[in-house]
Structure formats: C-alpha cells, structure tokens
Amino acid sequence: MPDLTPLLTTQESVAFSAISRYIAQTLISIQQQHPEWIAEKYRKTPWGQPDFQSVLIGKLTKSFRVASDTDSLLLTAKKYLQILLIPEFINSPQFSKLLAKIQQLAAPQTPPAQSQNSVSSKPPTPTANQTTPLPAGIAILLLDVENLQLNIETEKFLEGISHYPIQIKVAFANWRSMGKKDAEFHQRGYQLIHVPPGKDSADLKMATVGASIFVHYPTAKEIFVCSSDRALTHLSNTLQAHGLTVFQVRKQIDKIIVLNSKTGQVETHSLVTVPEITPVEQLVIQLKELIKKEQQRTSAQWIKLSTVSALFRENYGLVLNEIVATHFLGTKTRDIFIKYPTEFVLHKPSETSQSYVTLFEIKLSPPPPILSKENLTNTPAAPATLTDINSLEDLERALVKIVSDLTGNSRDNSVFLSNVGSEFHRQYGKQITQIIKEFNLGRKFPKFLQSCTSLHLKKAEKGWQVSLN
C-alpha cells in the first residue's frame, strides 16, 4: 500500500515537477519505441515537441498540487496514465514498474535527488524500484547574471533536475549597471559578487571562485554553472575532475538547455510562459461573447473559425488552440465547439473550405449552410422555382411541401430545422434566411416557422424540429 503520510512541504514542488517530467519523458520514450502502447487518440500527438511537453507537464503538476498525500498523488498519476495508455499496457509488468518509480519519487522520505531519474530517456526498468538514499550533500548554483538571467520558474526546473537541494546560490555581475537586479537576486537568496566593467569579467570571476568552491563547501556534490559563455567549459572540467557532477546551463533562443557533464544527458526547459489555463466553463462564455459581438458588428450570423481565434488572441492575449489542447489533450480548436452543441453550431461547407461557427440560441439560432442533399419531387401544390415564391403564402407552401417530403407525410414525425433550410436551398438555390429578409419580416427562420399555421416548431434535445400541423 502507498505511504499515506502527507508530502513534506519542502519537497512538494520538487516531487511534483519530478513526477510530471518523468511521466512526460516516459511517454516520449514509449512513443518512440512502442507507439502501439499509447491510446489511439493520442498516438499521433507529437509529445517530443517542447510545447506539448510544457502543456502536459503543467497540467500534471497543477493536478498534483491538490494531492493531500502520497496515495492521492499516485491515484491522480494513474488516472492520467490510464487515459494516455492502452489497457493492455496498464495491466502489464512495465506499468507496475512505472508506478513503483512514481511512488519512489513521491515518497516523503526520499530527498529531491530523485527528480533526476524523472527525466530518463528510457522506459521504466527493474532498477526503478531501487530506493537506496543518496549520501548527504548539497548543490551549488553559480550564475553569470550579465550573460544569463534565471527566473523563479527556471530555478524550480533546475531543482527538479538536481539530486541534492540547491542551498548555495552565487550571482556574478557588475551590479552598478544592473539597475535594481541586485535587490531582486538578494531577496531570492543569492550571494552577490560584484565585478568591474569589462568583457567577460563576470565569467572570469565565476571561473576563479568556482574552481575552488569545493574547498569551501566540502559537502557539495553537484554544481550548476549558469552561463551561455562556452569559455566556462574549463571550469566544468576542473570541477568534474574533483568528483563533482557539473550541470552546464545555457540559453538557446527561448529555451534553457542543461547538460549533465558526467552522463551527457540534456534537459530542455521552455522559457515561453504557459499562462494560467482558463477554466473550460469560462472559456465557453468568452467565446460566446466574442461571437455575439462579431455578429453584431458584421450583421452576419456565421463567423469564420479563424476570425474567432484571432479575436480570442486579440482580447485575451492567448492562443485558442493551445488553450483547447490543454483542456482536451490531442484536440483541435474546432473541437471545443463540437463538445458544446447546446452553445455552438459548427459548419464546414466543404472539405476545402473554412469552418464557420454560430451561437445555438433558442430564439435566434440561424439555419446553417448546406448540410445535406435530399431527393425531391416537385408537386403543383408548391412553388416550382424561386420566381414562383412571391408571397408569404407561397413561401409557407414551399416549406410545407419540404417538411411533408422529409417526414414521409406522417404527422407524427418531425425533421430538424437545419435539414429544412438545407433542402430549401437545394431546391430553390437560395438561403431561406435571404428570402425572409427580402420580405422585410425582420425575424429569423424559427420565428417565421412559428407564424406558419401549417407547421409546428418544437425544441428537442438535439435542436429545433419541424413537423406538420
């Protein structure tokens, strides 16, 4: 049985990060070696891409934070794994080893050192059950602030990699030229070392101090050398020669690259901020408001999906497809509208055309564009062509004929409003909403049907339905 002892507060952040990254990296490894073990829905998702890793890790970490103890954390991890992996793998010995490793990373008595194994590029192996604790020690972080600046989130990422707690942090810079950065780093627990202005002054000072740091801190086991200047490779070699594990930390465009000089293992951390995810209920409300405003502005009921995405980014500074993918792994932007059919109606006229969306409203739901083609045999009772529709009575007779044909002349049957509109367009070559507008009725299709004495409109579970009176 998993240990029920609450997670130690000082280890929570490291444990959550370690487990999340371990699951993400294991998923990547499985996709590379045994893609058939991944659930079909997520099999083609590019888990190896940094953006997808960041979203998955962020979602996992956020879920783990609400765990009250190790047991609930393991249950949360298992829940996600059951979603991502096929049942055959869930029941396999490999999955048991995977859970055992997660339990080891989550165990309160295990120091933060375990997080290094959380990013192993290999799937779970029998060694994952080893629980031998590491000898006591500390990690040290040396930072060239003029060359590379670390924020709090990046520091947490480094803590997740380290086998030991980072207890000593030293920052090098010409602080006179750094504005108020000295106060910021001092508040974050850094020891500040000032260097005079000059090219590579901070790097040289860091190399000098770092080369003998193991003398001043004999319990140091690991050192993070944070600078994009490759000249500090000599420092890394010196420290490694004295038995320390050196992590070379540098920035590459929008990523932090961490190289373990002993093992050659490389870790990547995206600097692109993943915003706080909007709750899905709030997201639906935001999308409805944007669509309604755009309908009012353009007097058009159907709005391009690309327009909605652009408006969402403009108003909220977020990328809609990334938010949707966070809520529903492996989905696309259009899926948020499909998953809420009582709020939205989505339509794609053809395989090559753009998708359109409108609001599903009881009183204002417009008929969608062509959705299907039905066979029709015109009868003298109804207008044969568009030019024969010259009055509201003509229009009503045309609709009665369509509903009659679609329901098989049975008064007990009904047909969806959208199918009536589609059949009208197929027969007469014009949208029913355009005809209604030309008669200056000032009302929508459903409202017009409600005024027709020969037709009955009712609200059903999946939308409006029309039948004969």
- Tens digits of residue pLDDT in 185-194: 998 899 999 9
Distance in angstroms (rounded) separating the CA atoms of residues 325 and 336: 9
Is there a contact between 121 and 25 (Cβ–Cβ < 8 Å)?
yes
Average pLDDT, the chain: 77
Q: Where in the chain is the domain with CATH 3.40.50?
A: 138-270
| 224 phi/psi in degrees, rounded to 5 | -100, 115
- DSSP state letter for 185: H
CATH number assigned to the domain covering 138-270: 3.40.50
Please give the pLDDT value at position 171: 92
pLDDT one-digit tens code per residue, 194-232? 988 877 677 788 888 888 888 888 889 999 999 877 667
Tell me which CATH code domain 386-468 carries.
3.30.420
The pTM of the full predicted model, rounded to 2 decimals, is 0.38
Burial call 57-78: b when 16+ CB within 10 Å, e when fewer: bbbbbebbeebeebbbbbebbe
The angle, 0 to 180 degrees and rounded to 10, between the axes of the packed helices 305-316 and 320-327 is: 90
Q: What's the CATH architecture for 280-359?
A: Orthogonal Bundle (1.10)
- The pairs formed by 397-406 with CB atoms below 8 angstroms and a separation of 24 or more are 398/424, 398/427, 398/428, 399/424, 399/432, 399/449, 399/452, 399/455, 400/452, 400/454, 400/455, 400/468, 402/376, 402/427, 403/455, 403/466, 403/467, 403/468, 404/468, 405/374, 405/376, 405/377, 406/374
Dump pLDDT digits (tens) for 60-87. 887 787 766 777 788 888 888 888 888 8
CA–CA dist 106, 95 (Å, integer): 16
Residues of the chain with CATH 1.10.10: 280-359
pLDDT tens digits, 266-320: 888 877 655 555 677 888 888 999 999 998 888 888 998 888 988 888 888 777 8
- Residue 422 — very low, low, confident or very high, per pLDDT cuts 50/70/90? confident
| Highest mean predicted confidence (pLDDT) among 244-253, 318-327, 440-449 | 244-253
CA angle 153, 111, 220 (to 5 degrees): 80
The ranges of the chain annotated as CATH 3.30.420 are 386-468
